[in-house]
Amino acid sequence: MVLIGGTSNVGKSTIAQEVAEELGFECLSTDALARHPGRPWRTSEWEVAAHVAEHYASLTVNELITSVFDHYDRLWPRIEELITARAAEDRGSTGLVLEGSALWPERVARLQVPHTAAVWLTTDDSLVRARVHSAGCYEAATDEERVLMDKFLARTERYQALMIEVIDRLGLARIDAGGGQTAAELADTVLTAVDAQTALGRPYTGR
């Protein structure tokens, strides 16, 4: 099993799909288990729900961070159950790549499961901001829409800063997803980190 964590819009889903295809594994997102209010900007396939807009408009950045941590606290038992169950399956079973921001490093580091490796993707705040601005057509957005995107970005940047602090303190595997590599190249970097963690019985925490 491969766990891929990171903040929103860092590229987890794309890289997880690449890794899963390379390994012949199934790919899942923690968002499929329970989704917190998602992106607060319109696309051709997505209209911002009223409760999502209200969530970002009414809460401060500190409150948004508290809200998302509370959500992940409630979600973690389901994630842990999934990871534990899949790790206990026969070695001949299809492996799993699980990605999501809910894979908080301290929780993952406490897992005691075999055949599992974990990495976190990080990148410069400027790259995440550029991706959100592009996806949300920031320049053409209304003032109200920009406020929602700005709140989302502030929460995302704060979350990543807190996450990096924990990753580095625990000595976990962290990969820069903003170095100009293609998705395939980043997937290879993830697989190299996975191999290093699983070789010679090393713990998946990367320590």
User: Average pLDDT in the 49-68 region?
Assistant: 95
User: Average pLDDT in the 132-161 region?
Assistant: 96
* pLDDT(201) > 90: no
**CB of 33 closer than 8 Å to CB of 75:** yes
Torsion of CA 71, 18, 181, 174, to 10 degrees: 40
Task: Report the alpha-carbon distance of residue 205 to residue 12 in Å, rounded.
Answer: 18
* pLDDT(45) > 90: no
Task: Write down the pTM of the prediction.
Answer: 0.92
* pLDDT(206) > 50: no
Maximum CA pair distance of the chain? 55
Q: What angle do CA 181, 149, 130 make, to 5 degrees?
A: 25
* pLDDT(198) > 80: no
Q: How far apart are the first and last CA of the chain?
A: 18
pLDDT in tens, 143-157: 999 999 999 999 999
Average predicted confidence (pLDDT) for the chain? 91
For 45, phi then psi, to 5°, come to -110, 0
